[in-house]
Homo-oligomer: A and B are copies of this chain.
């Protein structure tokens, strides 16, 4: 980001008809957007959420409340515009783009980008989820989506995902990258009970033991205990950083992808915005590692980019305030303190 534009935006905000700093984190957003876009009047009109879809072999271990088939059914629902993310994106004035980077669905619905690297990962509880080459290929799929967004003039991105079993993979990656105990990072996902969560934690521990991912090598971690959609989101964020497009992250899975991307290139952090805090116990820990604070606390746990898109109007608000408010100098107001 360009600090000159960030500074000019802060000066602009300080000159508006309000107490200094009183718009809190909306001001911080406007300042960061100015820096990223190298503009004192950033435009975030063309918005897009990209939903990366992938399946997980580890579902064989009974770690999810839903079968893998749901990933394909949800892709159909995305394509028909009837999933939660479609509704939320319509409201936020954003496009939805769905990318099948690794589902096991029999067919890829019309309207879904078919760039499948492989039909789901292997069961990480028995061996690596995928090869390093496959993880790199998935990463490239994500980068390509950032490049396409740049070519098409997209100004604001959100990263979403769909993949039955992916909170298991995300918790495993989080455990390696944050060096925390996997048990404390394991959550209910789409709706496990206590017993299911315990089983899931045991499966994650086993996956880590068998695969011994190298915490200093994020690509190794993504390949061994990650997922195709997680690697793709990491590549998407790397690409967005390269093309200077801000990306709003969603819940645990996109946040773990962000952490992997930041481990590969620390500059990625500069274009990331947190949206909400999900109920997954690992989410807050991963966001803290990223140095990002969520704006929303709505106890959501849906994925698809749903929480990220809910933050779009807040970013619009931050920018509109910076552009449309009266100046203090027009009012003759001065603080006494």
Q: How far is the CA of A294 from the CA of B76 in the complex (A)?
A: 35
Q: A317 contacts which chain B residues (CB < 8 A)?
A: 87-88, 91, 310
Question: Please, which residues of chain B bring their CB within 8 A of the CB of A83?
Answer: 17-18, 325-326
> How far does the Cβ of A248 sit from chain B's closest Cβ, in whole Å?
15
Determine whether the beta carbon of B66 is less than 8 Å from that of A19.
yes
Q: Which of B24, B91, B192, B325 contacts A87 (CB 8 A)?
A: B325
A313 and B320 alpha carbons, distance in the complex (Å): 15
Are B333 and A70 in contact, with the CB atoms below 8 A? yes
A301 within 8 A of B: yes
Interface residue range, chain A: 35 or more
The answer to the question of A84 belonging to the interface, with a C-beta cut-off of 8 Å to chain B, is yes
**A17 and B279 contact, CB distance less than 8 A:** no
* Any B CB within 8 A of the CB of A126: no
A179 in the interface (beta carbon within 8 A): no
Q: When A66-B336, A84-B321, A87-B321 are in contact, do A24 and B279 touch as well, CB less than 8 Å? A: yes
A39 within 8 A of B: no
Q: How far is B65's CA from A26's CA once the two chains are assembled, in angstroms?
A: 22
Identical copies in the complex: 2
Among A16, A76, A300, the most chain B Cβ lie within 10 Å of the Cβ of A300
Q: CB < 8 Å: which of B73, B196, B337 contacts A333? A: B73
For A309, give the chain B residue with the smallest CB separation.
B317
Q: Is B313's CB under 8 angstroms from A91's CB?
A: yes
Distance from A21 Cβ to chain B, minimum over Cβ atoms (Å) = 7
Over the window 49-83 of chain A, the binary record of Cβ atoms lying under 8 Å from chain B Cβ atoms (1 yes, 0 no) is: 00000000000000011110010011011001011
Contact A82 B301 (CB under 8 A): no
Residue interface bits A301-337, CB-to-B below 8 A is 1, else 0: 1100010001001101100110011100001110111
Residue of B nearest to A323 (CB): B87
A306 partner residues in chain B, CB cutoff 8 A: 23
Interface contact B191-A21, CB-CB below 8 Å: yes
Interchain CB contact under 8 A, A19 and B302: yes
Q: Does A25 contact B (CB under 8 A)?
A: yes
* Most chain B CB inside 10 Å of its own CB: which residue of A20, A314, A337: A337
A299 within 8 A of B: yes
A153 at the interface (CB under 8 A from B): no
Residues on B with beta carbons closer than 8 Å to the beta carbon of A300? 22-26
Nearest Cβ in chain B — how far from A280, in angstroms? 11
A285 within 8 A of B: no
**Interchain CB contact under 8 A, A191 and B320:** no
Bound complex: CA A333 to CA B7 (Å): 51
A74 and B310 alpha carbons, distance in the complex (Å):
30
Smallest beta-carbon distance A30→chain B, Å: 12
Determine if B17 and A331 form an interchain contact, defined as CB atoms under 8 angstroms apart: no
Chain A residues proximal to chain B, CB less than 8 Å: 16-26, 64-67, 70, 73-74, 76-77, 80, 82-84, 86-88, 90-92, 190-193, 196, 279, 293-302, 306, 310, 313-314, 316-317, 320-321, 324-326, 331-333, 335-337
